[in-house]
Amino acid sequence: MSDLLCFATIALAGFAQATLQLSFGGLILLYHASMGQHRRRKTRHLTTAYILGALVITLLAVSGIAFWISQFAGQALTLEMTLICVGIFLACAAIMWLLYYRRGKNTELWLPRSFSRFIARKAKTTDDTIEAFSLGTLSAFAEMPMSIALFFIAANCILTISAHLQVVAILAYLFVVALPTIALKFYVRTGNNVVTVQKWRVKNKMFMRFISSMSFMMLSAFILAFWVY
């Protein structure tokens, strides 16, 4: 398998994960709560810690799964395991379209209400970088039912790539995953507020559902076309 194909799969997997909304929504909550209570400098630190927390969990999960594959699955995922991942992606595409968002003019997600209230409460009371970091890790964990299969495919591609490019591949995956949160950070830094972003999200909820769903479907099609056949 060529390195270019591996990078393309990693980019697609990263894009599919980037379309998941829990970490992004958590960051909006943190921004909104923190800017109402603290100075801008502190808000900057808190949001950076939050993004780092989410990325560290992603990094650990992908590296851990890559280690597991290399030790116990014989250097790469078998055809059957790859097909199971494709099946999970197709299920995720359907879930993203039908169940991921709750109904109504909001961006509430599939999470149990008690859990999303817990995250919202934590975001409101966070006033220290360690807490913000753990909130980021929590959001990455909570997103795992949708992202775990993506981690498997990304880890598999990273193992297939030439050894000297493996670190670059992990970093590329993390970069693509973090793009929406980094973009939000720059958007807010240039003098805008998160309410504009939230308004856009509410208005374009259907578009976001479509993009998420399509990204999972495209990844499935890509894997079937280039990895299975």
Contact residue for other proteins among 2, 78, 193, 204 (CB under 8 A): 193
127 binds other proteins (CB under 8 A): no
Q: Give the DSSP letter string of 141-162.
A: HHTHHHHHHHHHHHHHHHHHS-
In the complex with other proteins, the residue whose CB is nearer, 19 or 21, is 21
53 binds other proteins (CB under 8 A): no
Q: Are 73 and 81 in contact (CB under 8 A)?
A: yes
Q: Which of residues 65-104 bind other proteins (CB under 8 A)?
A: 104
Residues in CB range of 137: below 8 A, 6 or more apart: 53, 54, 56, 57
198 binds other proteins (CB under 8 A): yes
Tokens read off for 217:
């479907």
In the complex with other proteins, the residue whose CB is nearer, 79 or 127, is 127
DSSP state of 104: S
CB atoms within 10 A of CB 39: 9
Q: Are 159 and 66 in contact (CB under 8 A)?
A: yes
In whole angstroms, the minimum distance from the beta carbon of 58 to other proteins comes to: 18
In the complex with other proteins, the residue whose CB is nearer, 84 or 144, is 144
In whole angstroms, the minimum distance from the beta carbon of 128 to other proteins comes to: 18
146 binds other proteins (CB under 8 A): no
In whole angstroms, the minimum distance from the beta carbon of 104 to other proteins comes to: 8
Where would I find the H helices in the chain?
A: 3-18, 22-37, 40-72, 79-98, 113-125, 129-142, 144-160, 166-189, 194-203, 205-223
Contact residue for other proteins among 37, 78, 162, 204 (CB under 8 A): 37
Residues making contact with other proteins (CB under 8 A): 21-22, 25-26, 28-29, 31-37, 104, 106-109, 111, 116-117, 119-120, 191, 193-196, 198-199, 202
